[in-house]
Structure 1
Amino acid sequence: MQKQTLVSTDWLGQHLRDHDVIVVDVRHNLADHEAGQRTYGFSHILGAHFVSVERELSGPRTGHNGRHPLPTMAGINKLLRRLGVTTDKIIVAYDDAGGMFAARMWWMMRWIGLYNCAVLDGGWQKWLAEHRQVSRELPHVPESDIHCFVQDKLRVDADYLLQHLGDRAAMQIVDARAPDRFRGENETLDPVGGHIPGALNRFFQHNLTGTGVFKSPGELHQEWTTLLGPREPATVVAQCGSGITACHNLLAMEIAGLHGAKLYPGSWSEWCSDVSRPVETGE
């Protein structure tokens, strides 16, 4: 499972009771922050642990670091110990939103050097449609003593973006938000509409088929290389509204064999909090 990205419902169904598999439920609603835990309490994949996007996959907010800043290393290690994570165990994350929140878990594990985390392709909906095992019981596992450290080569900050704006050879920003929000229209989550100058738009939902699973590696590779042209994937910086759906694009690039892109965790919600930073609207 080293450096994996996706697992199928068939795979998880076969390995659900394995002691080296840790299933995490990261269902979330951006408009109702407690909805994920409520739905988890009603029903979840057998043995799954609930992980809160707001409290455990995000850190303290200052008003200038975005809506979902990365958590502290102390907070991440606390979460991993609660889940019983060790370096030889496999983490499988799922949600009910096409993988957008599960991809955040996947990216964060890579950020701290754990490559044994994958997203459940098709998520909760596919699991239910196939009548697989669910439960209301809460799992109980011994805490681990794992201690990880961040790999900051996988992310960039606002100063990096400002330094490289306009230098297409060094950096290409790709915005994962819906096209209307990218253009600066219908903005309901952040106080300013628009996008970072020079950004391209790749709506994260375009990574999925009509049935909610990821497109094939070949199809994703063709679509992403059409968008990016001949540039090196390592020059790509993924962003979105708050650093969540950008991880979905990073996951899609990995599936496509395009490795090395980075995340701007603060994303638009951080960028637009400083009026001195430039903003573009339209296509």
Structure 2
Amino acid sequence: MGKVFISVKSIEQNDYKWIDTRFSLQNANDGLEKYKELHLSDAVYWNLDDDLADMTKKEGRHPMVEKDALTNLFRRSGLSLNDQIIVYDDGGSPFAARAWWLLKYAGFKNAFISLEGFSEMKEIGLSVDNAVPTPVESDVLPVWNEEIYAPRSFVEETVSGNTTSVLLDARSEERYRGETEPLDPIAGRIPGALNLNWERLKEDGKFSMDSTIKEAMLNVVDPAEEVTVYCGSGVTAAPLYAMLSHNGYNNVRLYVGSYSDWIAGEGAKVEKG
């Protein structure tokens, strides 16, 4: 799939369209307040709860957005499929990756995740202000790529042994083993899943491009395998998806509903230990 993460240190800011996705799971207004105070010039703001999930649904804690809503988001953001786009957050967070994955799902070929968070980009000298842009609305028609999306039915088939996909859990080792579960009512994992904690992808607060990250992934899954990543609510699995893609894994799906959706199903089985 090619390069996913990009350093903004040596780019021309005006060559890209910018999307600010700063957010806090503890305070849903935090990112928008930060954006209003200061953001990269001409960046639009996408909110996890309002734009990158459909919180009216019951399929997990951050359910998949409907295609019509995504199309409207892209259009009012002034995006076209061939645009060069960089998505950013505070750095080392999962929110830019969630937005990036939705862009890839919709067929945007030139979308990237900034390695640097907003504070570092400001220090580098990128132009910032507090003006809210009004992009010219586009008429973009997404080209949906269903091969990178895993609905619950696909995961059920995988658990039943009817696909060749490898399930990969991005949560902490303790949650994966079912020793603790701070967010969901049932502890454990989807049966048969392997584990790679998404926090291991980071070093000093941002995603690492060090070769040890690829080695860690190679120790769990082979690049030739199809991989289906999930986490608790489909958010922290997105950077694991992105890192796999960046490192040559070309057959990866994201189970957006993730574990919170899995355990909501009638008679859903889990594993522990």
**How far 1:168 moved relative to its partner?**
9.7
**What is the aligned-residue RMSD (CA, Å)?**
2.1
Matches of 1:66 and 1:214, distance apart in 2: 29
Instruction: Determine which of 142, 164, 169 is the counterpart of 1:148.
Output: 142
CA distance in 1, matches of 2:217, 2:56: 32
1:37 aligned partner? 32
The structural deviation recorded for 1:219 is 3.2
Residue of structure 2 aligned with 1:160, choices 148, 154, 171: 154
Amino acid at match of 2:132: L
Report the equivalent of 2:216: 223
1:75 pairs with 65, 69, 75, which one? 69
* Secondary structure of residue in 1 paired with 2:185: coil
Structure 1, unmatched stretches of 5+, are none
> What is the distance in 1 between the residues matched to 2:2 and 2:82?
13
Identical positions, percent:
26
Q: Does the CA contact (< 8 Å) of 2:223 and 2:249 recur in 1?
A: no
1:49 matched to 2:35? The reply is no
Contact 2:86 2:112 in 1 (8 A): yes
Range 105-114 or range 125-134, more displaced? 125-134
Amino acid at match of 2:264: S
Q: C-alpha separation between the residues in 2 aligned to 1:96 and 1:278?
A: 36
Q: 1:249 aligns with which of 237, 240, 244?
A: 240
Distance in 1 separating the partners of 2:239 and 2:4: 11
Letter of the 1:240 partner, please give it. Answer: C
Is 2:82–2:109's contact at 8 Å kept on the other side of the alignment? no
1:9 aligns with 8
TM-score when normalising by structure 2: 0.92
More deviation, 153-162/269-278: 153-162
Per-residue CA deviations over 1:39-78 (Å, capped at 9, x if unaligned) read 1111112221111111111124333x11111111111111
SS of 1:238's equivalent in the other structure is: strand
Unpaired stretches in structure 2, ≥5 consecutive residues: none
Q: Distance in 2 between matches of 1:127 and 1:60?
A: 31
How far residue 111 of structure 1 moved from its aligned partner, in angstroms, is 0.8
CA gap of 1:52–1:169, structure 2 versus 1, over 3 A, is closer
Which residue identity does 1:7 align to in structure 2? I
1:28 alignment partner in structure 2 = 23
Distance change >3 Å, CA 186–CA 131, structure 1 → 2: farther
Q: Distance in 2 between matches of 1:207 and 1:44?
A: 26
- Following TM superposition, the consecutive aligned residue runs of length 4 or more in structure 1 with deviations greater than 4 angstroms are none
Q: Contact 1:99–1:121 at 8 Å: present in 2 too?
A: no
Q: Conserved in 2, the CA contact under 8 Å of 1:4 and 1:117?
A: no
Name the CA distance, whole Å, in 2 between partners of 1:143 and 1:261: 32
Give 2:42's aligned amino acid. G
Q: Which amino acid aligns with 1:31?
A: Q
Q: Does the 8 Å contact 2:55/2:61 carry over to 1?
A: no
Matched letter for residue 94 of structure 1: Y
Report SS of the residue matched to 1:36: helix
Superposition map of 1:150-189 within 5 A: 150-165=144-159, 167=161, 170-189=164-183
Does structure 1 conserve the Cα–Cα contact (< 8 Å) formed by 2:62 and 2:233?
yes
Distance (Å, rounded) in 2 between the aligned partners of 1:220 and 1:226: 10
TM-score (norm 1): 0.89
Match of 1:232 in 2: 224
Does residue 212 of the first structure (1) align with residue 209 of the second (2)?
Answer: no
Cα deviations by residue, 1:77-122 (Å, 9 ceiling, x for unpaired)? 1111111101231111001151411111111111111111100012
**Alpha carbons 1:220, 1:255 under 8 Å: kept:** no
Could you say which residue in structure 2 is the equivalent of 1:107?
A: 101
Q: Report the 3-state secondary structure (helix = DSSP H, G, I; strand = E; otherwise coil) of the residue aligned with 2:219.
A: helix
